[in-house]
Amino acid sequence: MAEKRKADDAEPITAQEPKKAKSDGTTTQEDPHWATPLSSFQGFEMIKILNDHPKNKSVFVHGKFRGHEEEAVVILEKTPFSEETLPFALSGETKLKVGLKNDIYGNYHGTPPAQVNGIKVSVVYPATPKHLVKYSQQQTYLVQETGDDYRNITLPFLQAEAFRIQWVYNILEHKQESERIVFEDPDKETGFILLPDMKWDLKQVNDLYLIAIVHKHGIKSLRDLTAEHLPLLHNILKKGQEAIQEKFSIPPCKLRIYLHYQPSYYHLHVHFTHLNFDAPGTGVERAHLLSDVIEHLEIMPDYYSKKTLAFCLRENDQLLAEFRKAGRV
Q: Does 191 bind ligand GTA (CB under 6 A)?
A: no
- The least CB distance from residue 180 to ligand GTA, in Å, is 7
- The least CB distance from residue 15 to ligand GTA, in Å, is 20
Site size toward ligand GTA (CB under 6 A) is: 20
Distance of alpha carbon 61 from alpha carbon 160, whole angstroms:
27
SS3 (DSSP) at 168 = helix
Q: Does 258 bind ligand GTA (CB under 6 A)?
A: no
The region of 5-13, 41-49, 241-249, 259-267 touching ligand GTA under the rule CB under 6 A is 259-267
Out of 119, 280, 308, 315, which residue is the one contacting ligand GTA (CB under 6 A)?
A: 280
Is the peptide bond between 126 and the residue preceding it cis, with omega within 30 degrees of 0? yes
Q: Does 256 bind ligand GTA (CB under 6 A)?
A: no
DSSP 216: S
Nearest-CA neighbor of 23 among 165, 179, 195, 176?
176
Q: Does 255 bind ligand GTA (CB under 6 A)?
A: no
State the sign of the Cα–Cα–Cα–Cα dihedral 135, 138, 140, 146.
negative
Residue 18 Cα distances to 6, 69, 116, 169, 237, angstroms: 17, 26, 39, 6, 27
* Nearer residue to ligand GTA within complex by CB, 9 or 197: 197
Question: Is residue 90 within 8 Å of 79, Cβ to Cβ?
Answer: no
Distance of alpha carbon 328 from alpha carbon 143, whole angstroms:
8
Q: Does 237 bind ligand GTA (CB under 6 A)?
A: no
Question: Is residue 182 within 8 Å of 244, Cβ to Cβ?
Answer: yes
Out of 32, 80, 112, 281, which residue is the one contacting ligand GTA (CB under 6 A)?
A: 281
Out of 27, 82, 94, 122, which residue is the one contacting ligand GTA (CB under 6 A)?
A: 122
Q: What is the distance, to the nearest Å, from the Cα of residue 146 to the centroid of all Cα atoms in its chain?
A: 26
> 61 pairs with which residues across the strands?
49, 74
Instruction: State yes or no: is 269 an active-site residue.
Output: yes
Out of 134, 164, 220, 239, which residue is the one contacting ligand GTA (CB under 6 A)?
A: 134
Q: Does 194 bind ligand GTA (CB under 6 A)?
A: no
* Nearer residue to ligand GTA within complex by CB, 96 or 198: 198
Site string for ligand GTA, 68-107 (x = CB under 6 A): -------x-x------------------------------
**What phi and psi values does residue 163 have, to the nearest 5 degrees?**
-60, 150
The region of 83-91, 192-200, 295-303, 318-326 touching ligand GTA under the rule CB under 6 A is 192-200
Question: Is residue 207 within 8 Å of 196, Cβ to Cβ?
Answer: no
Among 269, 271, 274, 288, the active-site one is 269
For residues 268, 318, 9, 264, the Cα torsion angle rounded to the nearest 10 degrees is: -20
The region of 7-15, 20-28, 66-74, 263-271 touching ligand GTA under the rule CB under 6 A is 263-271
DSSP 207: G
Q: Which residues are catalytic?
A: 269
The contact set with ligand GTA (CB under 6 A) reads: 58, 75, 77, 122, 134-135, 167, 177, 195, 197-199, 211, 260, 263-265, 269, 280-281
